C-alpha cells in the first residue's frame, strides 16, 4: 500500500515535470480556468456580471503573455441558480474539463453545495462574495468579506458615529442573513444593547410588500431612541424595500439604513434621489479614488459597455485572480497543492489603495469602506479603515470563539485553541 502510494506520487511528479516542460516548450493544452456563475435563474442578476469580469481578467492576462508561457482558457458553465446543480457543474469542471482553478458561486447555499465535491477532488475555488463566515475549507480561498470585515465595522459605525440605540435587523430568509444576524445580535448585546431594542425580521426572496415592515421599523422610535436598520436583504427585494422607505418619507437623517448586499449594480435598478444618505458597507466602491481603480473601470467599460458599473465582488475576483496568477508563477505550476502553499502571504494592491494580503486562514486582509448613496447611484466613501484581517470563525458566538483556522502552520481549518486539537479537516458541517 505504502509502496504503491510512493510509486504513484513519484509517477505523478514525473508526469508533472513532463507536462511542465512540455508546456513551456509549445503549450499544446492551454491552462483552463473554470467560471461557475449562474447565467440564468434568480441569481443571474448578480452573477452574470462576475462571469463577464472573469472573461475580462483572463483576456487581459492573455494579452500580457498568459501564464507560465501558456494561454489561459475560460471554461464557462451555467449552474442556473440551482444549488444542487452547482455541485454537478463543479464535478464536471474538475473531471471532464480538468480545469486548474474555479472562480465562482455567489450565495452561501451554492458554496455549501460545491464544498464536498471540491474537497473530494482536491480542486481550488475562489469565492468572491461577502459571506457569513463560520467555515474554512482547505480548497477554498474566500476573497469576499468575512463578518468582521463588513458587518461588525458597519455596526460599530452605527453605534459610534451615528449614535444608534435601537436596531432593526432585516434580512432575506436564508443562511447568510440568519447567521450574520445571529452574530450581530450577540455582538450588540455584548455592547449593552437590550434584547428588546433589537427587532429582527426575515422575508422571502423577491419580497415586494414592505409597507407593514417599514411601519414596524418606524414604530421602534416611539421611546425616543435613535433607530437604525441593518439590512441583509438580498437581490431584487431591495427595490421594493427602498421604494417603500422613500414613499414613507423616511430620510437617512431620521432612520439610517446600512446594507450589506446592495452595491452599484443593485442601485442601477432604482431611482436613488430619495435614498441619498443611506449607507452600504463593502471593501470596495466604484467611487474609490486610485489610479488602479481608474484603469480597472476604464477597462471594464471598454469590455462590457459604457453604462456598466463595477462592484465589490468584481474587485474580489480581480484580487483573487491576480494572486492566483502570481502564486502559480512563483510555484512554476498550476498544481493545486503547490499553488495553495504559494498563496499564503501573497500580496496584491487593492483597487481602493493599500494592499490585500492572503492569510493562512484563506481570507484576505482588506480595508472596510462605508459609503453613502448619492443621487447618481454611486457611493460617497465617508469612512475607510486600514486593512482588517478576515476571521473565518467569529469571536462573537461562544461556540466559534475558540476555533481558529490556519492551513499553513497547523494544517487545519477548524482548530480548537482550548483543547489544542483539530476538530475536523473537511467542511461538511
Partner 1 sequence: MAGAQPYPKVRLRACHPFIESLLMRSALIALILMICSAPAAVAQTLQPILQTHAVEIAKPSRRSVGEALNTITRSGVPQATAFLEQWSKKNIWQRDDGVFLIGVADGDILTLTDVDTQATFSAPKSNYKRLKPNGGVRRLIGTALVQFQLIDPDLSRREAAVASIARRPEAAQLNPLLTSIDAETDPALKVRKIQLANFLSALFAKDPADRIAAINILSTDTSIESRAVLNQILSVKSGVADTQPKGNIAAIHNPMDAPDTYYAALVNEGLAPAKQTAADIKRALEFNIVNGRIAGFSLALMNDPDTRETAYAVLAANGLVPALITDDLRNTALNEHVFYDLYDEPNVDITAVAKTALGSVTSRVATAQVADLTLDALSLASIFFLAAIGLAITFGVMGVINMAHGEFIMMGAYTGYVVQLFVPNYTMSLIIALPLAFAVTFGAGVVMERLVIRRLYHRPLETLLATFGISIALQQIAKNIFGTQARPLTSPDWLADAWVFNDVIQISHIRIAIFVLALMFLGLIIYILKRTRLGLEVRAVTQNSGMASSMGIDPDRINMMTFGLGSGIAGIAGVAIGLYAKVTSEMGSDYIVQSFMTVVVGGVGNVWGTLAGATMIGFGQKGIEWLNPSNTLAAQTYMILFVILFIQFRPKGIVAQKGRAAGD
DSSP state of 96: I
For residues 148 to 187, the per-residue mask of contacts with partner 1, x marking binding by CB under 8 A and - elsewhere, is ---------x--xxxx---------x--------------
Q: How far is CA 228 from CA 213, 243, 288, in A?
A: 14, 17, 25
Q: Verify binding: residue 240, partner 1, rule CB under 8 A.
A: yes
Distance from C-alpha of 35 to C-alpha of 77, rounded to nearest angstrom: 6
Q: Verify binding: residue 294, partner 1, rule CB under 8 A.
A: no
Phi and psi of 366, rounded to 5°?
A: -140, 155
Q: Do β-strands 403-406 and 412-416 pair in parallel, antiparallel, or remain unpaired?
A: antiparallel
The stretch among 3-11, 61-69, 214-222, 398-406 that binds partner 1 (CB under 8 A) is 214-222
For residues 14 to 43, the per-residue mask of contacts with partner 1, x marking binding by CB under 8 A and - elsewhere, is --------------------------x-x-
Q: Select the residue interacting with partner 1 from 62, 322, 329, 383 (CB under 8 A).
A: 383
Nearer to partner 1, 199 or 344 (CB): 199
Nearer to partner 1, 61 or 274 (CB): 274
Q: Do β-strands 198-203 and 166-172 pair in parallel, antiparallel, or remain unpaired?
A: parallel
Q: Verify binding: residue 269, partner 1, rule CB under 8 A.
A: yes
Q: Verify binding: residue 270, partner 1, rule CB under 8 A.
A: yes
Whole-number minimum distance, CB 107 to partner 1, in Å?
15
Asked if 413 and 425 touch (Cβ cutoff 8 Å), the reply is yes
* Number of DSSP helices (H) and strands (E) in the chain, helices first: 13, 17
Whole-number minimum distance, CB 391 to partner 1, in Å?
25
Q: Select the residue interacting with partner 1 from 15, 22, 96, 219 (CB under 8 A).
A: 219
Whole-number minimum distance, CB 59 to partner 1, in Å?
21
Nearer to partner 1, 247 or 401 (CB): 247
Q: How far is CA 284 from the centre of its chain?
A: 11
Q: Select the residue interacting with partner 1 from 71, 380, 387, 395 (CB under 8 A).
A: 380
Of the candidates 149, 58, 129, 141, the one whose C-alpha atom is nearest the C-alpha of residue 315 is 129
Distance from C-alpha of 217 to C-alpha of 150, rounded to nearest angstrom: 23
Kindly state the cell numbers that stand for 112. 455549501
DSSP symbols for 321-335: HHHHHHHHHHHTS--
- Strand (E) or helix (H) holding 41: none
Binding site for partner 1 (CB under 8 A): 40, 42, 44-45, 48, 157, 160-163, 173, 199-204, 206-209, 211-213, 215-216, 218-219, 221-225, 236, 239-240, 243-244, 246-249, 252-254, 256, 265-266, 268-271, 274, 277, 279, 372, 380-383
Amino acid at each position: 500500500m505504502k509502496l504503491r502510494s510512493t510509486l504513484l506520487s513519484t509517477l505523478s511528479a514525473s508526469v508533472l515535470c513532463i507536462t511542465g516542460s512540455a508546456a513551456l516548450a509549445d503549450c499544446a493544452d492551454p491552462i483552463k480556468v473554470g467560471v461557475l456563475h449562474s447565467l440564468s435563474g434568480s441569481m443571474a442578476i448578480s452573477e452574470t456580471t462576475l462571469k463577464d469580469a472573469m472573461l475580462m481578467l483572463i483576456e487581459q492576462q492573455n494579452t500580457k503573455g498568459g501564464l507560465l508561457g501558456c494561454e489561459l482558457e475560460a471554461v464557462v458553465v451555467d449552474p442556473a441558480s440551482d444549488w444542487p446543480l452547482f455541485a454537478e457543474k463543479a464535478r464536471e469542471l474538475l473531471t471532464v474539463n480538468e480545469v486548474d482553478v474555479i472562480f465562482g458561486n455567489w450565495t452561501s447555499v451554492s458554496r455549501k453545495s460545491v464544498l464536498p465535491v471540491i474537497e473530494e477532488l482536491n480542486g481550488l475555488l475562489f469565492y468572491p462574495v461577502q459571506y457569513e463566515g463560520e467555515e474554512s475549507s482547505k480548497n477554498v480561498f474566500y476573497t469576499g468579506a468575512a463578518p468582521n470585515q463588513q458587518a461588525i465595522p458597519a455596526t460599530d459605525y452605527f453605534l459610534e458615529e451615528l449614535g444608534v440605540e435601537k436596531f432593526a435587523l432585516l434580512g432575506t430568509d436564508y443562511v447568510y442573513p440568519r447567521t450574520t444576524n445571529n452574530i450581530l445580535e450577540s455582538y450588540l448585546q455584548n455592547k449593552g444593547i437590550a434584547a428588546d431594542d433589537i427587532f429582527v425580521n426575515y422575508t422571502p426572496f423577491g419580497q415586494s410588500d414592505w409597507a407593514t415592515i417599514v411601519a414596524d421599523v418606524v414604530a421602534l422610535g416611539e421611546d425616543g431612541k435613535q433607530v437604525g436598520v441593518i439590512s441583509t436583504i438580498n437581490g431584487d427585494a431591495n427595490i421594493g424595500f427602498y421604494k417603500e422607505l422613500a414613499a414613507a418619507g423616511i430620510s437617512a437623517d431620521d432612520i439610517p439604513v446600512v446594507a450589506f448586499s446592495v452595491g452599484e449594480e443593485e442601485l442601477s435598478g432604482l431611482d436613488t434621489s430619495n435614498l441619498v444618505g443611506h449607507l452600504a458597507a463593502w471593501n470596495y466602491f466604484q467611487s474609490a479614488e486610485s489610479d488602479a481603480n481608474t484603469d480597472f473601470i476604464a477597462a471594464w467599460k471598454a469590455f462590457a459597455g459604457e453604462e456598466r458599473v463595477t462592484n465589490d465582488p468584481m474587485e474580489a475576483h480581480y484580487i483573487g485572480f491576480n494572486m492566483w496568477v502570481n502564486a502559480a508563477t512563483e510555484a512554476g505550476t498550476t498544481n493545486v497543492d503547490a499553488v495553495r502553499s504559494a498563496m499564503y502571504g501573497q500580496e496584491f494592491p487593492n483597487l481602493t489603495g493599500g494592499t490585500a494580503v492572503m492569510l493562512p486562514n484563506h481570507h484576505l486582509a482588506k480595508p472596510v469602506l462605508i459609503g453613502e448613496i448619492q443621487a447618481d447611484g454611486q457611493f460617497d466613501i465617508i469612512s475607510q479603515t486600514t486593512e482588517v484581517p478576515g476571521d473565518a470563525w467569529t469571536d462573537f458566538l461562544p461556540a466559534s470563539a475558540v476555533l481558529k483556522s490556519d492551513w499553513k502552520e497547523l494544517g487545519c481549518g477548524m482548530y480548537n485553541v482550548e483543547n489544542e486539537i483539530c476538530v475536523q479537516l473537511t467542511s461538511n458541517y
